[in-house]
Chain A
Amino acid sequence: MSQTTLEATTTRTDAGATIALSGDIDGSARQALDAAYAEVGDGDAVLLDFSRVQYINSTGIALIVGVLARARAQSRPVTACGLSEHYREIFEITRLSDFMTILADGPVPSADNGGRQ
């Protein structure tokens, strides 16, 4: 498995912001994540799309905790989609899943139905 630096692209719609993640979420992903989160507009719900993420390590989990903490401070709901079965288990073990909605596998939803609960 070769290292792929994370790319994170934020798309805003009326319903909220989708951050499409592609690559690895490890220590090197901080900048990309921060930049993508900065583009989320006021009041937007956030949908994190993990469908093109191959690898998340413990440092990456810490970065996701950081994003979640900021979103909670701003009272934004956070939803995750596209997680593999393995990382879905890790989100459960770490209890990240208690603080975000995890969508089941399937076609990646758009922010306007994924960001709402």
Chain B
Amino acid sequence: MVPHTLRRVMFRRPRAAGAAAAPIETRAALPSEEKGAEPGLEISPNDPIVPYFQSAPGAVELRSLELHSPALEQMRAQGITMVVPLVTQGELIGLLNLGPRLSDQEYSPDDRRLLESLAAQVAPAVKVGQLVREQEAEVRARERIEQELEVARLIQQNFLPKELPELDGWRVAAYYRPARTVGGDFYDFIELPEGRIGLVVGDVTDKGVPAAMVMAATRSVLRAAAQRLLEPGTVLERINETLCSEIPPNMFVTCLYGVLDPGTGRLRYANAGHNLPIVESGGEVSELRATGMPLGLLPGMSYEEKEAVIAPGSSVLLYSDGLTEAHDPGREMFGTPRVRQLLAHGAVADELISDLLADLDRFTGAEAEQEDDITLVALARAGGAQELRPVLSFSVASAEGNEREAMRRVGDAAAAAGVDATRLERLKTAVAEATMNAMEHGNRYDPELPVEIAVARSDTVLSVRITDRGGARDIPQAEAPDIEAKLAGEQSPRGWGLYLIENMVDEVRADGDGDRHTLELITHLKGHGEGR
């Protein structure tokens, strides 16, 4: 018994469960080298032969079959006389198709039994093969997507500024965090004649490589136009004309472009449908409004141009909708009011960005996947009431008793700055304790190692920074010491320093690097902040 033809037919099922109306793609799957050598076999999903084969108890002789089936006719035309359905777990996954025996005799009951037992063994093996192939295809598809995302990420990173501009009297901070799928956010700082600087924040609709390409193109056009044209509105008009003819009709770009004169704080800006920048000035926040259509939608657009002045002590935040449109687990949006609120607290550039991100992470939940790219650019102009001005700096050697000198000198400076008597005594105690900690825990009473003390003040606060050489370390959360345990002799009677410090001033901050550790004590000046 030599089968004339042995052919596998694969049945593909639609991906979505319950999509019964969708046509089942059923086609002959042949090894590539056999393609063309054998005729293919198309079985329509609603061909009555499918349920027939699926429920057939064994080999089926086509000759005796009476069905109105196009597939049956096709098979007969191809010379197939017997079919052994490959069924596993009730699913028809293939067919063994046989032509007439070479001897022209009928298939014997033994032949049939042999074929049926062969089919019973082949069916699960074929099924496993199919599953493996499907999985391999899925892995390949995933890898392709990952690779594409990586390319998009690379393009984007390559076109983001490598460093922040250094502007006299300004603090500048920028932050970009791509979503997993990489959107089309971008930002840029463009050096312009006469010390001015171009500020750009934009967002391309769409994600992945196409968005990254458009972003790169927009950035290049913008940079070129910005060098030639001074008016932000004209710059956006020019980019719009270029993009309209060059990007796909379903894509567009929102973009805020401003020209800042760092000397005067003058900011001329135009906006192509991007999120409105927010300005904070003396605790008041406002949005910089200018109208204009997104770029790349319609040619011949004009862009309103406005001007604002960022006063000393004020700051401005440019951002993308990845920030305001982030959701919490209950699908509530982060929204602009939260951003405005944080700005109203008067946080400065980099601080503002880290505060915003911390707030956002709390809002979305730590586990949440970021929905869209997030871009933040913050500029804070020095000066004004919040700016700290140096008052006094000195150092003391690490030797017992030297905290008194620190206490005396800081006390005199604080009194001169107008710290009231009660706060002055508290501050002196905090300074003494912090200096002792710096000498003991930071410098291990090494007389070669100084403790540096710097006093600065703004219109509202006095800051005392006490720095040792002990390297960055966390200040442990000062808990109220357990006096009962101390009195009962169950605990050392010591351990009051940090607790005192935290209770004696309005705020304690710690920072440091590999070498230095600084504790900053903040005391509100008279009439500011809450009394204890």
Q: Give chain A's interface residues, CB within 8 Å of chain B.
A: 1-3, 26-27, 55, 57-59, 61-63, 65-66, 68-69, 72, 84-86, 89-90, 93-96, 98-99
Tell me the smallest distance from the CB of B424 to a CB of chain A, in Å.
9
Instruction: Check B422 for interface membership: any CB of A closer than 8 A.
Output: yes
Assess the B483–A98 pair: CB atoms within 8 A.
yes
Q: Which of B492-507 contact A (CB under 8 A)?
A: 492-497, 499-500, 503
B481 — nearest CB in chain A belongs to which residue? A94
User: Which residues does chain A contribute within 8 Å of B488, judged by CB atoms?
Assistant: 69
Contact status A62-B404, CB under 8 Å: no
Closest 6 CB pairs of A and B: A86-B425, A58-B496, A65-B493, A62-B493, A58-B497, A62-B494
Q: In the bound complex, do residue A3 and residue B404 qualify as a contact, i.e. CB atoms below 8 Å apart?
A: yes
A-B pairs with beta carbons under 8 Å apart, 22 shown: A1-B404, A1-B407, A57-B429, A58-B433, A59-B436, A61-B496, A62-B492, A62-B493, A62-B495, A62-B496, A65-B483, A65-B486, A66-B493, A84-B425, A86-B422, A86-B426, A89-B426, A90-B429, A93-B499, A94-B483, A94-B496, A98-B483
- Residue from the list A3, A69, A84, A99 in contact with B489, Cβ < 8 A: A69
Instruction: Check B86 for interface membership: any CB of A closer than 8 A.
Output: no
Is B400's CB within 8 Å of the partner chain A? yes
CB-based nearest A residue for B433? A58
- Besides the contacts A3-B404, A59-B436, A85-B425, what 4 more A-B pairs have beta carbons closer than 8 Å? A61-B496, A68-B487, A69-B488, A85-B422
With A57-B436, A86-B429, A94-B481 as known contacts, state yes or no: A69 contacts B493, CB within 8 Å: yes
Task: Return chain B residues, CB-CB under 8 Å to A95.
Answer: 480, 483
Among candidates B407, B425, B436, B500, residue contacting A93 with C-beta atoms closer than 8 Å: B500
Provide the bound-state CA to CA distance between A93 and B495, in Å: 14
Alpha-carbon separation in the docked complex, A63 to B494 (Å)? 8
What per-residue 1/0 map shows which CB atoms of B425-459 lie under 8 Å from chain A? 11001001100100000000000000000000000
Q: What separation, in Å, do the CA atoms of A95 and B496 have in the docked complex? A: 11
CB distance from B8 to the nearest CB of A (A): 85
CB-defined contacts of A68 to chain B, threshold 8 Å: 487
Task: Compute how far the CA of A24 lies from the CA of B335 in the bound complex, rounded to whole angstroms.
Answer: 56
Contact A96 B483 (CB under 8 A): yes
Nearest-Cβ distance from residue B299 to partner chain A, whole angstroms: 71
* Majority-rule SS of A interface residues: helix
Q: How far is the CA of A37 from the CA of B28 in the complex (A)?
A: 103
Cβ–Cβ < 8 Å partners of B493 in chain A:
62-63, 65-66, 69
Is B503's CB under 8 angstroms from A93's CB? yes
Q: How far is the CA of A64 from the CA of B87 in the complex (A)?
A: 89
Contact between B401 and A3, CB atoms less than 8 A apart: yes
Docked-complex contact B432 and A57, CB < 8 angstroms? yes
Complex interface: chain A residues within 8 A of B142 (CB): none
Nearest-CB residue, chain B, relative to A27: B400
State the CA gap A55–B431 with chains docked (Å): 13
A105–B357 CA distance with the chains assembled, in angstroms: 51
Given contacts A27-B400, A86-B425, whether A58 and B436 have CB atoms under 8 Å apart is yes
Q: How far is the CB of B83 from chain A (nearest CB, A)?
A: 92
Cβ contacts under 8 Å, B497 to chain A: 58
Q: In this assembly, does B403 line the interface, its C-beta being within 8 Å of a C-beta of chain A?
A: yes
Of B404, B422, B495, B497, most A-chain CB atoms within 10 Å: B404
Q: CA of A48 to CA of B497 in the docked complex: distance in angstroms?
A: 22
Question: CA A98 – CA B483 in complex, angstroms?
Answer: 10
Q: A3 vs B486: C-alpha distance in the bound complex, in angstroms?
A: 28
* With A63-B493, A86-B422, A90-B429 as contacts: A55 and B404 at CB distance below 8 Å: yes
Partner of A57, one of B422, B433, B489: B433
Tell me, yes or no, whether B113 is within 8 Å of chain A by CB. no
How many angstroms from the CA of A62 to the CA of B496 in the assembled complex? 8
Measured CB to CB, the closest approach of chain A to B20, in angstroms, equals 75
Chain A residue numbers with a CB within 8 Å of B429 are: 57, 86, 90
> A87 CA to B84 CA in the complex, in Å?
99
Q: Which residue of B lies closest to A96 (CB)?
A: B483
Chain B 264-278 near chain A by CB (<8 Å), digits 1 or 0: 000000000000000
- Contact (Cβ within 8 A) A1 B408: yes
Q: How far is the CB of A112 from chain B (nearest CB, A)?
A: 26
Residues in A with CB closer than 8 Å to B483 are 65, 94-96, 98-99
CA distance A26 to B401 in the complex (A): 9
Considering only CB atoms, which chain B residue lies closest to A26 in the complex? B401
- In the bound complex, residues from chain A placing their C-beta under 8 Å from that of B500 are 58, 61, 90, 93-94
Establish whether residues B403 and A57, one from each chain, have CB atoms under 8 Å apart when the complex forms. yes
Shortest Cβ distance from B514 into chain A, in angstroms? Answer: 28
Distance in angstroms between the alpha carbons of A69 and B493 in the assembled complex: 9
Contact present for A59 and B494 (CB under 8 Å): yes
A1 to chain B, nearest CB (A): 5
Query: Contacts of B432 on A, CB cut-off 8 Å?
Result: 55, 57
Q: Output the residue of B408, B486, B503 with the most chain A CB within 10 A.
A: B486
Residue among A2, A62, A85 with the highest chain B CB neighbour number at 10 A: A62
CA of A3 to CA of B474, assembled, Å: 31
How far does the Cβ of B439 sit from chain A's closest Cβ, in whole Å? Answer: 12
Complex formed: what's the CA distance from A84 to B496 in Å? Answer: 19
Assess the B404–A2 pair: CB atoms within 8 A. Answer: yes
Contact at A58–B494, with CB atoms within 8 Å?
A: yes
Please measure, in the bound complex, the distance between the C-alpha atom of A62 and the C-alpha atom of B489, giving whole angstroms: 12
The A-contacting residues of B in range 382-416, CB under 8 angstroms, are 400-401, 403-404, 407-408
Closest to A3 in B: B401
Name the residue among A26, A59, A61, A95 with the largest chain B CB count within 10 angstroms: A61
A57 vs B501: C-alpha distance when bound (angstroms) = 11
- Residues from chain A with Cβ under 8 Å of B425 in the complex: 84-86
A-chain residues with CB within 8 Å of residue B487 when the two chains form the complex: 65, 68-69, 72, 99
Q: How far is the CB of B333 from chain A (nearest CB, A)?
A: 43
User: In angstroms, how far is the closest chain A Cβ from the Cβ of B27?
Assistant: 83
